[in-house]
Structure 1
Amino acid sequence: MINNVVLVGRLTRDPDLRYTSNGSAVATFTLAVNRNFTNQSGEREADFVNCVIWRKSAETLANYAKKGTLLGVTGRIQTRNYENQQGQKVYVTEVVCENFQLLESRNASEQRSQQSAGGFNDFSQQGQQTQQQSSFGKSQNQGNSMPNFDRDSDPFGGSEQIDISDDDLPF
């Protein structure tokens, strides 16, 4: 049987780090993952996926990832159930993460958090601002910024014409 999950999304809040009675670290978080299509009104929707990560990875995630961080995770889907205080059976489906990757630089993360200063992040506006500041994904004032992988950006927009002789072409 195969049970593999790969997700890329943004954290909806800071990871919640706790420790079990035997001392194992466990962090829970929710990833907002954009859908690949738009709804009838032309807006993109997102799925909010509950995730859990254990041990050293949980501590590392809690130390380095904050609300809004672009995060890639791999893991598996797990379902469980329990009885709540009212005696009702509650079913939970979550992704148990085995590995994660921070997908933006610390500078980009800090810049985004300064721009959002206290309000809800509009990531589409932030992507447009990044596109306006960049030339082929490189910020003009920072040489080490991440490329702009926004689905609506033109990777060749704003670039100058490339001078290639016919001798350099492989065909």
Structure 2
Amino acid sequence: MLNRITMTGRLTSDPELRKTNAGISVTGFSIANQRNFKNAAGEFDTDFFDVEAWRTTADFIVNHFSKGSMITVDGRLQTQKYQDKNGNNRTSIRIIADNVYFGDSKSKTEEKAPVNRETAEEYHMSGSFGGFDPGDYEELNIDSELPFNPFA
């Protein structure tokens, strides 16, 4: 089965290195990824994704990235089932990073202000290609009749 994801976003906090009992490096962090189209209020929504990295990838991230840095993560999605403090069953989804890449040059990264959930909208990536403006299109109403089943 194929399970691959590539995501670019800005770190919402400084990554911290932890070690397992066996001495294996691990870090977890969140990235903010702003959508390329405006919502009904005329604003860009931002999605937040949890990322986990192990071994040398974790070491690399902690040594070269900080809050506000643009990072491209290549990896796979993984789910984890757990019970919250009230005994409710929950599922979390995170990206397990296999490879990471710099999204900014060092000078640009140093100029950027830190990103958090409140200020993430300042970091919109245009994503326009050849004059394509996602705002020119209406959202598809999935309840309408389609010539195919998008969920099949």
1:28 aligns with 2:32: no
Segments of 5+ residues of structure 2 without an aligned counterpart are: 129-152
Instruction: Give the TM-score normalised by structure 2.
Output: 0.72
Normalized against structure 1, the TM-score is what?
A: 0.65
User: Which residue pairs with 1:162 in the alignment?
Assistant: none
User: What fraction of aligned residue pairs are identical, expressed as a percent?
Assistant: 31
Quick check: 1:104 aligned with 2:104? yes
Deviation readout 1:110-145 (Å, 9 max, x if unpaired): 1224xx6xxx65664x78xxxxxxxxxxxxxxxxxx
Q: What SS does structure 2 have at the residue aligned with 1:110?
A: helix
1:16 aligns with 2:16: yes
* Aligned residue runs from structure 1 range 9-158, under 5 A: 9-113=9-113, 121=119, 124=122, 150-151=126-127
Q: Deviations over 1:91-120 (max 9, x none)?
A: 21101110000111111111224xx6xxx6
- Please give the alpha-carbon distance, in whole angstroms, between the structure 2 residues aligned to 1:84 and 1:42: 36
Distance change (3 Å), C-alpha of 1:121 and 1:40: closer
Q: 1:89 to 1:121 in 2, by over 3 A?
A: closer
Cα separation, 1, equivalents of 2:50 and 2:77: 10
Larger Rg: 1
Cα RMSD after superposing both structures: 2.4
**Mind listing any 5+ residue stretches in structure 1 that lack a counterpart?**
128-148, 153-171
Q: Would you identify which runs of 4 or more consecutive aligned residues in structure 1 move more than 2 Å?
A: 82-90, 120-124, 149-152
Three-state SS of the structure 2 residue aligned to 1:16 is coil
Q: Distance in 2 between matches of 1:150 and 1:44?
A: 10
CA spacing shift, 1:84–1:63, aligned 2, 3 Å: same
**What is the SS of the residue equivalent to 2:17?**
strand
Secondary structure in structure 1 of the residue aligned to 2:9? strand
